[in-house]
Amino acid sequence: MKKADRAKLILKLLNEIYPDTPVPLNHSNLFELLVAVLLSAQCTDIRVNKVTPKLFGKANNPYKMKKIPLDTIYNIVKPCGLAPKKSKAIKNLSSILVKNFNGEVPESFEELEKLPGVGHKTASVVMSQGFGHPAFPVDTHIHRLAQRWGLTNGKNVAQTEKDLKKLFPIKSWNKLHLQIIFYGREFCKARTCFGLTCKICNLCYPSRKKAIKTRKP
């Protein structure tokens, strides 16, 4: 099966399995989404959703957040890991948003990626889930599954994103990246399947016998 044919099959199956794709991180505005995505680095969405109600209860916009003592932010976000770095980023980006953007989250990759603690993946999530612009944020699940499904060589996350954008229609990106994440969490986990047992792996490579070793991001 050619790569393009696998992509069409995968898109069809994922649309059947996940017709709805709710945003995993709880938020009520763009600032909360930005902070939640920042906190999700090397942390589960479930844990982030347990932490953010307390944080956003104290400050749900950059004007309030920049006034909160750094130690307070640190103690709240500590369960998410990387707390020293994340707490500083949250406080500093809040000050920048107030100073340079009238407290609004900028609607551009360039401006988002200039903010402390905001890399390309975080910016992609905000642009996609927050503003509705086409983007393809690649996390560990997407990077792993794209390799198991033969859609990329997995050289790095940037290459995986580039390869997936070539294979799938732009109108599918925002929904598809969530569908792949959901599928990876449910059926094609890091320590199971290994490219051998889940439905999509079997359909893409029915004669595959050897476990696939994937490159980590």
Q: Is 25 helix (H, G, I), strand (E, B) or coil?
A: coil
- Residue 24: other Cβ atoms inside 10 A: 19
Q: Is residue 105 a part of any domain in this protein?
A: yes
The helix or strand, by DSSP H or E, that contains position 175, with its residue range, turns out to be helix 173-186
Is the pLDDT reported for residue 217 higher than 90? Answer: no
Q: Which of 105, 130, 155 is at the close of a domain?
A: 130
Q: Distance between CA 153 and CA 136 in Å, rounded?
A: 17
Q: Indicate the residue among 80, 97, 130 that finishes a domain.
A: 130
CA distance 151 to 153: 7
Domain co-membership, 112 together with 38: yes
10 and 37, same structural domain?
A: no
Task: Domain of residue 106: give its range.
Answer: 30-130
197-207 pLDDT, tens digit per residue, is 999 999 999 99
Cβ atoms 39, 50 nearer than 8 A: no
Q: Is the domain of 118 the same as that of 49?
A: yes
- The model's pLDDT over 57-77, given as tens digits with 9 standing for 90+, comes to 999 999 999 999 999 999 999
Q: Which of 66, 91, 121, 163 is catalytic?
A: 121
* pTM as predicted: 0.94
d(CA 62, CA 35): 10
Co-location of 42 and 83 in the same domain: yes
20 is catalytic: no
146 within domain boundaries = yes
The catalytic residue among 66, 91, 139, 163 is 139
Classify residue 196: in a domain, yes or no: yes
- For residue 105, the domain's CATH number is 1.10.340.30
- The answer to whether residue 143 is domain-embedded is yes
155 is catalytic: no
